[in-house]
A and B are shown apart, each in its own frame.
Chain A
Amino acid sequence: MIQTLDQIFVLLKHWLLNFLPAAWQPAVGVVLSVVCIIGVFPALFAFTTVLERKGIGRIQNRLGPNRVGPFGILQPIADGIKSLTKEDIVPLKADAAVHFLAPIVLVVAVFMGFAVLPMGRNMVLVDMDAGLLFYFAMGASTEVSVFMAGWSSRNKYSLLGAMRAVAQMISYEVALLLSSVVVVMMSGSLSLVKIVAAQNQYSWGLPHWYIFTPWGFAGALMFGIAATAETNRSPFDLPEGESELVAGYFTEYSGFKFALFFLGEYVAMFSIAGLGATLFLGGWSAPLAALQFIPSWMWFFGKLMVAMCVFIWMRGTLPRLRQDQLMNFAWKFVLPMCLLNLFVAGLWRFMGDGLLRWVICSAILILAYVGMGWGEMKRKHLGPRTYRYAE
């Protein structure tokens, strides 16, 4: 029974395929999986928009959407109908072809990333030998679409937003890649299926997730920071800072093309949260050996939703950074920490088992973190905050 529930989607797919002649089965099987991915994530996106608007509303001491359906949960349907029926306005001077292609390139590149994410036991579309590399290659292609959108609109706000977005994405992509390299060093594979398999072991009922090691914890933190910046989420949402740039690179998009950008942004968040869960949180494996009876895909999507809630929480809590703060943070803090983490991971690998490596590796990382923070505070003459008028 547990087995059946765990493999229910795989079994369902095989059952459906059995109705077809054998020659068609591989091709139709791939199409079925792709249709599932393209169906499930927009549905999750619709749910997350309500969750986000409700959650941010609560954080900001208001109700959030509450008119459409009970508690406003039908809001995404209303939004969808609105964006489908809205007039699609293209500026007169815009470069029509590039303007049209930009949202399509974005959505296609974003959805491609899901091809290599294992969403449950035996639930991966393509188990590539170089899966992680494929994922990052697709992530890099989204930058082109952002540039296309900003440039083709013939609008200064759009262009500025695109330049900011691309500069930010390039800077944080370095950190994203370097923070993932530690996982590859430890598991010895670029295949995401093998990375999950390496973490899906238990000792004393506790899992071997990479986040429960010093280098894994530091790597997960750096990965989280870089992922937030890569998806242009608050506090790194300068490319669409509404007080400065209207809406950034998609200022001149309306109707369904705007909806595509919106979708692309959220699906990119799902995808990068899924990658983070796969790399550091054991993918579809259960957090305790005793909880393995719950199907693996539930754990994957559960971790995904927890990550989304953290994204929403951060958006409601943190103020937006300034451009120079953003760049300094990327190149002077995140990047050195990632490089140090590579060194620590190597040390961990060659020190052998025992308590000593825990102490030394943690000490190096904590000292570096505290030292860098302290040095930066000294350099900027930052200290305890003093209030001139409100004492």
Chain B
Amino acid sequence: MGIAFYLVSVLTVAGGLAAVLLKNTVHCALAVTTAFAGLALLFLQLDAQFAGFAQILVYIGAVAILVVFAILLTRGSETPKGGVFSKTWLAGLAVAAAIFAVLGWAVLQVAGSLPQQNAAPAVTVNQIGEALMGRYVLPLEIIALLLTAALIGAVIVAMHEKEGD
């Protein structure tokens, strides 16, 4: 845990907080992009190159762009009069805290039962590829099928109705 960890953590948490607290929707989307970048840096700090770069490629390159597109194409980025905060924010906070507590509890429970490793395991992209194509090929195929179905669905939704039919 060097100083880099704390810097990146501050960046990520600040991005996440800004995404919730800022008023302008596009600012929120950009803040969440910062949080994604921070997460990617955290992955890289753990020597997980593949996860880190995939995080940037997918979350910044695709998800963030999708979010801003959705904002622009729907109702504009102007702040509504009544503010963007829901009236039931207290309940939301309680639910979020409860989920965080369960996750934290689960992580702490498992941490004791894992074998203690002194050195971080060196996993190359090559090994990840072989695992995906070998042991985990069925989940990969199922995800591929799901994505293909989603793609075809999107094309059908976007397709022009034939005039006169």
Interface residues on B, range: 20 to 34
A147 at the interface (CB under 8 A from B): yes
Check A133/B69 contact, CB under 8 A, given A140-B62, A189-B126. Answer: no
Distance between Cα atoms of A129 and B53 in the complex (Å): 11
Knowing A98-B30, A129-B125, A151-B26, the reply to whether A140 touches B68 (Cβ < 8 A) is no
CB contacts under 8 Å to B, within A161-208, are 163, 166, 170, 173, 188-190
A143 at the interface (CB under 8 A from B): yes
Determine chain A's interface SS by DSSP, over half rule: helix
Query: Given the complex, which residues of B lie within 8 Å of A366, measured CB to CB?
Result: none
Residues A166 and B69 in contact, CB atoms below 8 Å apart: yes
Any chain B CB within 8 A of the CB of A32? no
Q: Which residues of B contact A134 (CB under 8 A)?
A: 49, 53
Residues 40-69 of B, flagged 1 when their CB comes within 8 A of A and 0 if not, give 100000000110011011001110110011
Q: Give the Cβ gap from B60 to chain A, nearest Cβ, in Å.
A: 5
Contact residues, A276-320 vs B (CB, 8 A): none
Indicate if the CB atoms of A133 and B60 lie closer than 8 Å. no
| A143 in contact with B72 given A129-B125, A134-B53, A151-B77 (CB within 8 Å) | no
In this complex, the member of B50, B68, B77 whose beta carbon has the largest number of chain A beta carbons within 10 angstroms is B68
| Closest chain A residue, CB of each to CB of B77 | A151
A: interface residue count bin: 20 to 34
B33 near A: Cβ within 8 Å? yes
CB atoms of B125 and A151 under 8 A apart: no
Is residue A141 within 8 Å, beta carbon to beta carbon, of the partner chain?
yes
- Do B53 and A170 touch (CB < 8 A)? no
Question: Which positions in B face A, CB cutoff 8 Å?
Answer: 24, 26-27, 30, 33, 40, 49-50, 53-54, 56-57, 60-62, 64-65, 68-69, 72, 77, 124-126
Enumerate chain A interface residues (CB-CB to B < 8 A): 95, 98, 128-130, 133-134, 136-141, 143-144, 147-148, 151, 159, 163, 166, 170, 173, 188-190
11 pairs across A/B with beta carbons < 8 Å? A130-B53, A133-B50, A137-B54, A137-B56, A138-B56, A140-B61, A140-B62, A143-B61, A144-B65, A163-B69, A163-B72
